[in-house]
Amino acid sequence: MPPYLRSALTALGVPFVDVWVHPIRFLDDLLLGVRSSDPASDAAIRGHAVSEDEVWMTAGLRRATVTTSPYSVLDPDTTLFLAQARMDKSQVFDGRFVDAGAFDDDLRRLAAEPGPWLLKPPPYDPDHPLTARVRELVPRARTVTDNVYHLFAQDEVTRVVSLNSSAAIEARYFGKRVTLLIPPVIEVGYRGGTGSPYWSLDHRLLDPDFWRQALAPLVPTTPPDGFRHAPKPNRLRIALHSFWGFQQIDTDAFVHIARPPGGDTGHVPIPSAAGQSANLLPVLHLLHPAEGDRVGRFVLLPGREEPRIEVYGPYATRPADRYRLTIRSRAAAAGSFFADVCFDYSNSFLLPRADIHAGGAWEAEFEVAEATPGIETRLWSSRTEVRIDAVELACLRLGPVPPPAQTA
């Protein structure tokens, strides 16, 4: 509920229950932060709050989960700066969007401490002004695209800095020192807590008896019936289309395990001569088959408010060479979509995510320095429905990558 609406309801004396997505997002499903403006209703909600012990326990499991995954080589005492999307409610402070220059003194003070810095931009908004300020004030900062939970699992990362990223709030449960430059969007509380935070609730929020108890001080309710629905991992994540990279250490892990050795599917088209190209679209997969649409030889990317991976694959091994990716698309209205080429469980990129104008043919070239398994091409939806007619890959040299030119 936006602050202006809470203020208006409070001024009118209208009670309300406010629900937010919780900042801790690595449990089996999302938590929700819930608070009532009515003390009696809020006390009933507090009685359903989960224990913080569950968060600590699950953080240990997540850390153990990713210890067998490939790691970036990091130096001790590394600081990780987590950037955020600029046009987001989290960026509103003191009634206005934050001014990146307001944090120069804080960043200089933090950068004066020894140790390397990593800068992780958000995937959808890599050019936040504060991200640019960090690059200017901390020139030693290195930009990374690693999954945030992989970074949290590494002992070399000892401190996390952010405006108020929910991931930074999560970092504390992985043993990191955390510095937030502005307060978090909501303060959360757990079982046994006091005050008036947003209480941390799990799937029990979906039970009718929860709402009977929460609303009983405010409105007439029907008698409790004891119904309890069965919990299911990722139920709320899927309903809200909100994963924040968690799927890379959870659901996507099973996809990687199930791949044949070498990552190839056995029928991935590979150009056999320089200048030849092959259409990958028939062997690419729909990430959300119930929502996507494969019609004949083309694929429809649905329009969405937030970009999301729709098509991926084929996890092929490509020999060292230079390649050209051509995507042919069309759309009924002006719009765009996104594409990238990556490997190493989406942690390394051959072609960073590109914003592509829908309609016609889009081309980009990339280099594979050595034979690399598990290469995937991913297409991301945007606000406009887009028809993808072809995803063509062409070899430009089909031979060894020439050594770099020698300089005097």
Q: What is the CATH number of the domain that holds 108?
A: 3.40.50.2000
pLDDT score for 263: 42
DSSP state of 376: E
Q: Tell me if 38 is assigned to some domain.
A: yes
Tell me, yes or no, whether 28 and 73 share the same domain: no
Tell me, yes or no, whether 385 and 269 share the same domain: yes
pLDDT score for 159: 97
Structure tokens at 389: 């007619």
pLDDT score for 319: 85
CA distance 165 to 142: 19
Tell me, yes or no, whether 36 and 75 share the same domain: no
Buried b vs exposed e over 192-230: b needs ≥16 C-beta within 10 Å?
eeeeebbbbbbbebbbebbeebbbebbeeeeeeeeeeee
Tell me, yes or no, whether 68 and 175 share the same domain: yes
Tell me, yes or no, whether 118 and 225 share the same domain: no
DSSP string, 193-204: --SS-EEEE-GG
First to last CA, the chain: 63
Tell me, yes or no, whether 158 and 45 share the same domain: no
Report the CATH number that the domain containing residue 307 is assigned in CATH: 2.60.120.260
Q: Tell me if 406 is assigned to some domain.
A: no
Q: What phi, psi does 157 have (nearest 5°)?
A: -80, 110
Average pLDDT score, the chain: 86
Q: Which of 148-162, 219-233, 275-289, 373-387 has the lowest mean pLDDT?
A: 275-289
Beta strand pairing call for 386-395 and 277-279? antiparallel
Q: Tell me if 403 is assigned to some domain.
A: no
Q: How confident is the model at residue 406 (pLDDT cuts 50, 70, 90)?
A: low
Which domain, by its residues, includes 204? Answer: 3-51+190-240
Tell me, yes or no, whether 268 and 337 share the same domain: yes
- Answer whether residue 295 shows pLDDT above 80: no
Q: Which residue has the higher pLDDT, 149 or 259?
A: 149
Q: Which residue has the higher pLDDT, 372 or 245?
A: 372
pLDDT score for 238: 84
Q: Tell me if 205 is assigned to some domain.
A: yes
Q: Tell me if 248 is assigned to some domain.
A: no
Structurally, the chain folds into a number of domains equal to 3
Q: Tell me if 400 is assigned to some domain.
A: no
Q: Tell me if 387 is assigned to some domain.
A: yes
Contact predicate 313/393, CB 8 Å: no
**Among candidate residues 180, 208, 229, the one where a domain is terminated:** 180
Tell me, yes or no, whether 330 and 224 share the same domain: no
Tell me, yes or no, whether 282 and 318 share the same domain: yes
Q: What phi, psi does 135 have (nearest 5°)?
A: -65, -35
- Answer whether residue 256 shows pLDDT above 50: no
Contact predicate 292/277, CB 8 Å: no
Q: Tell me if 338 is assigned to some domain.
A: yes
Tell me, yes or no, whether 265 and 378 share the same domain: yes
- Answer whether residue 157 shows pLDDT above 90: yes
Tell me, yes or no, whether 264 and 379 share the same domain: yes
Q: How confident is the model at residue 71 (pLDDT cuts 50, 70, 90)?
A: low
pLDDT score for 265: 41
Q: How confident is the model at residue 260 (pLDDT cuts 50, 70, 90)?
A: very low
Q: What percent of the chain has pLDDT over 70?
A: 85
Q: Which amino acid, one-letter code, is at 317?
A: T
Q: What's CA 196's distance to the chain center, in Å? A: 29
The number of C-alpha atoms within 13 Å of 321 and in the hemisphere containing its C-beta is: 19
Tell me, yes or no, whether 94 and 136 share the same domain: yes
Q: How confident is the model at residue 286 (pLDDT cuts 50, 70, 90)?
A: confident
